[in-house]
Structure 1
Amino acid sequence: MQVFCSPHHAGHHSSRFIRHGQFVESRDTPARADRILDALRRDGHTADEARPFGIAPVAAVHTPEYLAFLRTAWVEWQRIEGASAEVFPYVFPVRGMDHGYPTSVVGQAGYHMQDLWAPIGQHTWDVAIGSANLAVAAAGHVLDGASAAYALCRPSGHHAFADMGGGNCFLNNAAIAVQYLRCKLGRVALIDVDVHHGNGSQGIFYDRDDVLFVSLHRDPVDYHPYFTGHAQERGRGAGLGFNLNLPLPVRTTDAGYLAALETACARIAAFSPDALVVSLGVDAHEDDPTAGLALTVEGFRRISARLAGLGLPTVLVQEGGYNIDTIARCVAGALAGFENRESAA
């Protein structure tokens, strides 16, 4: 399988974020992508950089105001006397009372970021654009006739809405890949297997019937992102019935997950899409520090094998996974499962 990667991903490296009221070390380290790439090369995959596709595929998903904010936020923040080295929002809109758009970067940061888990550094914009570009390249490779392609995106994207980031995400790489495929294809399905609900992806496609969004994740009743990912969220307007959430109990194992995956695959098959995009998070692994679900490397292999069984042109986009000792084996196993072979990684 063709792998698209970028050597510049390490330019974005947030030193910390806020969890439980404390500054803690960020889990989204450059080593995540480096370990994955090393494993995939050992496993025989061809890994290449992507040609630039420009801003158009990104602008087809994200609003002009949000893109302008991401591009300029760090520079504007540094003009504030005594400001932190990275952009940290600290004033957020009150629900139902966001009737104006602020001119100050302080207000814009709260308007465009949903949490304190995505600080913006000097190179975040360039790296986020590069990450999205990989997803576009993978989608383009599939449009050119490949059966599948994988984008080693970092930062991840599935928590990014059209006008808002968070959860280590700035641009929604998977949604950008979906929209790029839609330029030439009629219907596209997006399935998210990250341990967290893909709230940004759901938000982007919630009113649409040309894109089916399916997410399997730990039940958000007591887990990030808390406010979305519940089974009753089925879409809105034209999109009603084209959103399927399958929340799972804490520490669900391979067997329970694969049973839920059958429901997801049946819905995808009924939708009859022309292509599939997979938000491939591997933080559902039993040893991941997110402690949500309890999948194994073999579980990820079987998940991808089942998705391959749908027989659709497929773009796989990297999302979460934060155990440095297991992430590479999980991803390599998933790609091997998709190709119906064993992994040597």
Structure 2
Amino acid sequence: MITVFDDAQRAHDPQFFLSSGARKPCPEQPARIDALLGAVRRMGGPVVQAPDAGLAPILAVHPARYVTFLSGIYERWMRIDGASAEVIPNVHPASRLDGYPLSAVGQAGFHMTDTSCPISAQTWGAAYASAQTALHAADLVLGGENAAYALCRPPGHHAFAESAGGFCYLNNSGIAAQRLTDAGRRVAILDVDLHHGNGTQGMFYARGDVLTVSLHAHPERFYPFFWGYEGEFGEGAGLGANLNLPLPRGTGDAGFLDALAQGIEKVQAWGADTLVLALGLDAFEGDPFAGLSVTTPGFAAIGRAVAAMGLPVVIVQEGGYLCDQLGDNLEAVLRAW
């Protein structure tokens, strides 16, 4: 399997995030790359860098004013007297109506859903490289590869069309899905991250041309809290094109694989001919977020179940945080191909 990776993704190095009101070191660290690349290199497959496909494929799912915000907000923020070293919002709209602020502070609150997506001087370049990585993996599958792995960092599935959140800035899985859809494929996104793929769901919620399925720890007591419930089926043209499979905290291999079987059944019934696998590895029993209890053999079973569908698949890296088994878990999944 070809792995796509761009070393520019290392430059983004967020220093902290707020969790339950406490300032903590950000777990979405550049060192994640080394653990994941180590697994890829143990497997011996080629690693390639994506060519620059430009902004157009990103703008296909993210509005121009959001891209303008991401690419320029750090410089604007630094002109504020006494500004923090990273862009972190201190105000959020209760609802988004017609108003759009001109101030950097107001726009940060508008475009950033929480305090776990700080923006530094290097964030835009890394997020852009991450999106290009997902795009090239999609292009490889369109070119005939049965599977391609996009080692994307920062991740993307918490990024809505117009907002960052949860360590995510550009929605890599959504960008890849749009690329495939534009090429005539019938695409399903299957998200197996610990956390609900709320940004991905929101991006396609009113569309009927991309199916979104998410397995995740139940949001009633777990991030992202406000999305990911069983009754969210899509709306308008997208009604019936979204499936959430929330799981009780601590769910292990058997419960996760049972839910995965339901997700796969939905993908097959929907008639997808190409899959985007939003691969979070943070459902692992030893992950720092400690939400679910999937084992390394469980990840191997996840890989086998998805591979057995027989669909061309773009595997996009989402979460999965530093622990001794991070690379082992990736290898367990990818060996299914």
Which band: TM-score by shorter chain? over 0.9
Provide the residue aligned with 1:109 in structure 2. Answer: 108
User: 1:312: how far off?
Assistant: 0.6
> 2:233 aligned with 1:239, yes or no?
no
User: 1:68: how far off?
Assistant: 0.5
User: 1:22: how far off?
Assistant: 1.9
Aligned to 2:190, what secondary structure does the other structure show? strand
Determine the C-alpha separation between the residues in 2 that align with 1:131 and 1:95.
29
User: 1:283: how far off?
Assistant: 0.2
Provide the residue aligned with 1:78 in structure 2. Answer: 78
Amino acid at match of 1:249: P
Pairing of 1:156-305 with structure 2 (within 5 A):
156-305=155-304
Determine the C-alpha separation between the residues in 1 that align with 2:35 and 2:322.
11
> 2:3 aligned with 1:3, yes or no?
yes
Instruction: Tell me, yes or no, if the aligned pair for 1:32 and 1:324 is still in contact at 8 Å.
Output: no
Aligned to 1:58, what secondary structure does the other structure show? helix
Provide the residue aligned with 1:41 in structure 2. Answer: 41
Identity %: 48
> 2:330 aligned with 1:331, yes or no?
yes
Amino acid at match of 2:87: V
1:61-112 alpha-carbon deviations (Å, 9 max, x no partner): 101111000011000000001111110100110236x431000010000000
Q: Do the aligned partners of residues 199 and 59 (structure 1) sit closer, same or farther apart at CA in structure 2, a change above 3 Å counting? A: same
Unpaired segments of 5 or more residues in structure 2?
Answer: none
User: 1:332: how far off?
Assistant: 1.1
Provide the residue aligned with 1:87 in structure 2. Answer: 87
Provide the residue aligned with 1:128 in structure 2. Answer: 127
Aligned to 2:330, what secondary structure does the other structure show? helix
Amino acid at match of 2:94: V
Determine the C-alpha separation between the residues in 2 that align with 1:23 and 1:56.
37
Provide the residue aligned with 1:342 in structure 2. Answer: none
> Which is worse superposed, 30-39 or 113-122?
30-39
Q: Please, what TM-score do these two structures have when normalized by structure 2?
A: 0.99
Amino acid at match of 1:267: K
Determine the C-alpha separation between the residues in 1 that align with 2:259 and 2:185.
27
Provide the residue aligned with 1:25 in structure 2. Answer: 25
Determine the C-alpha separation between the residues in 1 that align with 2:322 and 2:329.
10
1:128-149 alpha-carbon deviations (Å, 9 max, x no partner): 0000000000000000000000
Amino acid at match of 1:9: Q
Amino acid at match of 1:28: E
User: 1:18: how far off?
Assistant: 1.2
Instruction: Tell me, yes or no, if the aligned pair for 2:137 and 2:148 is still in contact at 8 Å.
Output: yes
Unpaired segments of 5 or more residues in structure 1?
Answer: 340-345
Instruction: Tell me, yes or no, if the aligned pair for 2:281 and 2:319 is still in contact at 8 Å.
Output: yes
Amino acid at match of 1:11: A
User: 1:304: how far off?
Assistant: 1.2
Determine the C-alpha separation between the residues in 2 that align with 1:291 and 1:206.
28
Determine the C-alpha separation between the residues in 1 that align with 2:95 and 2:77.
25
Provide the residue aligned with 2:150 in structure 1. Answer: 151
Instruction: Tell me, yes or no, if the aligned pair for 1:187 and 1:274 is still in contact at 8 Å.
Output: yes
Instruction: Tell me, yes or no, if the aligned pair for 1:289 and 1:323 is still in contact at 8 Å.
Output: yes
Aligned CA-pair RMSD: 0.9
Instruction: Tell me, yes or no, if the aligned pair for 2:288 and 2:323 is still in contact at 8 Å.
Output: no
User: 1:10: how far off?
Assistant: 1.5
Determine the C-alpha separation between the residues in 2 that align with 1:238 and 1:252.
33
Instruction: Tell me, yes or no, if the aligned pair for 2:286 and 2:323 is still in contact at 8 Å.
Output: no
Determine the C-alpha separation between the residues in 2 that align with 1:81 and 1:44.
51
Instruction: Tell me, yes or no, if the aligned pair for 1:151 and 1:316 is still in contact at 8 Å.
Output: yes
Instruction: Tell me, yes or no, if the aligned pair for 1:185 and 1:274 is still in contact at 8 Å.
Output: no
Determine the C-alpha separation between the residues in 2 that align with 1:149 and 1:91.
40
User: 1:7: how far off?
Assistant: 1.0
Deviating beyond 3 angstroms after TM superposition, the runs of 4 or more aligned structure 1 residues are: none
Determine the C-alpha separation between the residues in 1 that align with 2:296 and 2:322.
12
